[in-house]
Structure 1
Amino acid sequence: MEAGSEDRSAMVPNRSSVLVVCLAAALALSGCAGQQLTDDQEQRVAEKFEERLSEIDGYHATVTVSSTFDNRSFEMTTEVWARTGTGEMRQEVLAPPDRAGSKTVSNGSVMWTYNAAENTATRIEVPDVGTTNTVPRVERLVENFDIYSNGTVDLNGTETHKLTLVPNESAGPALSGTITMWVDTEKLFPVKMSMAFGEATSTVRYRNLTLDPDFEDGTFEFDLPEDAEVRTPSTPNVSEFQSYDRLADAVDRPIPGRELADRFAFERGSVVDGSTSIVSLEYADRDRTVTMQVTAAGERNPSDGENVSVGDRTAQYSEFGQMASLTWTCEDTAYTLLGQFEQETLVDIAADIECPSPR
């Protein structure tokens, strides 16, 4: 694993989702428990986002992230300083003991991650994440989630508004999980968030929260230890294709045809060349999409899903929230179908795909 990758996985949630829910809480105060916000209320959330964003300069808090996946649990506590709308952030690991001292620091354009146990640092160029780039993500969140007010509840002595965000029919694969938030009634800031994506769960808890703190000079500057090893992450090369023929000519691995199951037509594709080479093809019918990923057999960890029969082949079926996948192997090539479908539908699509002849 690349140095600092676990540190980045525990970083605080995207601030756009934090602030949009703050607004949702403010708009839902007059509603009764279990009431869904109307379309007009959700639209007001997006329209007033920039106004709310300008009111908060940043925050300082102790953040604990607890995650569970595949019967394994992980917990990390960090101290976080963040300046809203600039991408400036500092995160220092407090626990567990074997990760204490590791840190992630970003000045908005360059992010450093430091692994204290290995005494290694990684420098990453990051894109501009100012307020103008944040608003579209907020609008997408409002568009793809139904927001429910669950009334006012006490959370360890703090009065909070409890909110639930449930993906609607417009939600894509990346928004397939249900989110529950507890928003401080006084500060209108989430002090706890729980996310469930199938069998994977994650809970984020904010303590000792201070809004608009006085950031000391150098808070968002990284001091590289003199004896630290600096590592440069390898960036995969990504090529995108709108033409099926051009995609087929660009790869040396057999790929499915222009259509799947006589109703899903090729829309676009991509090739990612990195530590693992992945060919992705996106197909669509009138209202749904399905993605096919093609890799060399053995390049990815084998699925621990349910074995199902697809014609004379055996495939592995897995579910992740609203997403499902079906993976099988032909010769030296692995194929994975991904989409928001029932198992039977994915099996029917896969059964219509013959193992392509090797090139």
Structure 2
Amino acid sequence: MKIRNLLIVPVAAIFMLSGCTGNITASSEDIMSYVLETDNKLETYMGEGELKIFTNDELTEDVSFKEYAGTDGKRKFVSVDKLRDKKSYTLNDGKQVLMYEEGSNQAQSIDLAGIDLPSNLTQKEQLTRMLESLQDHYTYEVVGEEKLLGKNTYHLKVKAKSKNSLLGDMEFWVDQKTWFLVKSNSISGDIRSEVTYTSLDDSPSFDSNTFTLDLPEDVEIKALNTEYPTHSGTLAEAVEALGHPFLVFQDSEEKIDKVEWNIYEGELNRTEVTVYYTEQDIPSSTLSIFEIPKGEGAKIKGNVTVRGMKGEYMEDLRVLTWDEGKLRYSIMIDHPDITKEEIIKKVDKMELSSGRES
């Protein structure tokens, strides 16, 4: 299943005054509603900051960065990994994303034609998307106002309703005027992350070289879009590609819209099949199947029972995962009316594929 865990912050706030005191007079619900409606946003800026990640209170990632955001979706991100002493570049020129790490003889590119990447969105748009997707599984609280980088910010706390939440609990400091995220903290299990801007210019002057990247002559650019192409076909062809028969829905209401598979090499090194289902012509669920990954970190924690076995359900992503035989199954619920209980009942009735296409 193609789930991208993006570091996008939810929530911003409305500056509502009681007289001229500057006190917060709106409820958290009022603030959230305003965020979804307001057009205030910062589209062009230049910032510097730090990213730190701790695992069991041990610093495991320490990165400094410079970020350039121009018009027409252009972005440039320059980062220095302090622990590895490596410098990396990511450039989005509006047509493609180009990624390169100093010292490497290869760069990677992604053609952006037809792709809606979060990096193409303003921070306000990213905030709104995350807020809308998480509002059923998180509570929001405005705990105060603080001044950071000379800007008035709201300090927001976002708490998961479930202990099984993938993203965990989060804190954000958001500029009241532009909704720009100045600082964020998050805790999920034994991992704690901190992202802090140390400087921010919201009216920068960029020259013609800002959104370009000069690579050494011996560097080869490899297109990631073509490295692991997506194949499409029948269930029988997907079974052949995977090397194992796999479970599918037998419910007459569940119709197969399409079947795809990717063959990954390198560290991932697996074939992954994806089956897209609809109910009454509306996307209902997405089923992904691949061989059970190895390693301690790949084990399923288990918070639900699926087909008589231990499974895991992630509330915020609405994803159900379990292992059966040699395969790992993950189902993302696409239809808003399908509940966790309903998808588990449907899964209990799944049978091995016999070439059924619809």
TM-score by length of 2: 0.66
The letter for the 2-side match of 1:87 is: G
Q: Structure 1, unaligned stretches of length 5 or more? A: 1-7, 241-245
Q: Summarize the Cα distance change of 1:309–1:184 in structure 2 as closer, same or farther, 3 Å threshold.
A: closer
Choose which of 18, 25, 32 in structure 1 pairs with 2:13. Answer: 25
> C-alpha separation between the residues in 1 aligned to 2:211 and 2:141?
36
> C-alpha separation between the residues in 1 aligned to 2:299 and 2:175?
40
Contact 1:191-1:206 within 8 A present in 2 as well: yes
Q: For residues 223-242 of structure 1, give each alpha carbon's deviation from its aligned partner in whole angstroms, at most 9, with x where no partner exists.
A: 111233433334433367xx
CA RMSD of aligned residues (A): 4.9
Q: 1:221 Cα shift? A: 0.6
Q: Percent identity over the alignment?
A: 18
Q: 1:295 Cα shift? A: 1.7
Contact 1:279-1:294 within 8 A present in 2 as well: yes
Question: Secondary structure of the residue that 1:251 maps to in structure 2?
Answer: helix
> C-alpha separation between the residues in 2 aligned to 1:43 and 1:311?
37
Q: 1:326 Cα shift? A: 3.4
Q: 1:105 Cα shift? A: 1.9
Choose which of 289, 295, 301 in structure 2 pairs with 1:294. Answer: 289
Query: 1:79 and 2:66 equivalent?
Result: yes
Tell me the equivalent position of 1:162.
155
> C-alpha separation between the residues in 1 aligned to 2:354 and 2:275?
18
Q: Summarize the Cα distance change of 1:271–1:97 in structure 2 as closer, same or farther, 3 Å threshold.
A: same
The letter for the 2-side match of 1:48 is: T
Q: For residues 143-172 of structure 1, give each alpha carbon's deviation from its aligned partner in whole angstroms, at most 9, with x where no partner exists.
A: 334454222135698753112456899xxx
Contact 1:145-1:168 within 8 A present in 2 as well: no
> C-alpha separation between the residues in 2 aligned to 1:33 and 1:353?
52
Which protein has the bigger helix share? Answer: 1
The letter for the 2-side match of 1:192 is: K
Q: Summarize the Cα distance change of 1:76–1:268 in structure 2 as closer, same or farther, 3 Å threshold.
A: farther
Q: 1:178 Cα shift? A: 5.1
The letter for the 2-side match of 1:279 is: V
Q: For residues 300-323 of structure 1, give each alpha carbon's deviation from its aligned partner in whole angstroms, at most 9, with x where no partner exists.
A: 987323479979976564758665
Q: 1:337 Cα shift? A: 4.7
Tell me the equivalent position of 2:235.
248
Tell me the equivalent position of 1:277.
271
Contact 2:320-2:331 within 8 A present in 1 as well: yes
Contact 1:65-1:75 within 8 A present in 2 as well: yes
Q: 1:36 Cα shift? A: 1.8
The letter for the 1-side match of 2:96 is: V
The letter for the 2-side match of 1:163 is: L
Q: 1:218 Cα shift? A: 0.4
Question: Secondary structure of the residue that 2:215 maps to in structure 1?
Answer: coil
Q: Summarize the Cα distance change of 1:91–1:326 in structure 2 as closer, same or farther, 3 Å threshold.
A: closer
Tell me the equivalent position of 1:153.
146
Tell me the equivalent position of 2:267.
none
Contact 2:306-2:322 within 8 A present in 1 as well: no
The letter for the 2-side match of 1:160 is: T
Question: Secondary structure of the residue that 1:202 maps to in structure 2?
Answer: strand
Tell me the equivalent position of 1:48.
38
> C-alpha separation between the residues in 1 aligned to 2:290 and 2:316?
23
Tell me the equivalent position of 2:90.
104
Q: Summarize the Cα distance change of 1:210–1:223 in structure 2 as closer, same or farther, 3 Å threshold.
A: same
Count of aligned pairs: 323
TM-score by length of 1: 0.66
Q: For residues 239-279 of structure 1, give each alpha carbon's deviation from its aligned partner in whole angstroms, at most 9, with x where no partner exists.
A: 67xxxxx752442242324347x9x8456454231313222
The letter for the 2-side match of 1:95 is: D
Question: Secondary structure of the residue that 2:298 maps to in structure 1?
Answer: coil
Question: Secondary structure of the residue that 1:279 maps to in structure 2?
Answer: strand
Question: Secondary structure of the residue that 1:25 maps to in structure 2?
Answer: coil
Q: How does 1:76-225 map to 2 (within 5 A)?
A: 76-83=63-70, 85-96=71-82, 98-127=84-113, 134=121, 140-146=129-135, 147-153=140-146, 159-165=152-158, 179-185=170-176, 189-196=180-187, 200-225=191-216
Q: 1:116 Cα shift? A: 1.1
Q: 1:206 Cα shift? A: 0.8
Q: Summarize the Cα distance change of 1:184–1:314 in structure 2 as closer, same or farther, 3 Å threshold.
A: closer
Q: Structure 2, unaligned stretches of length 5 or more? A: 265-269
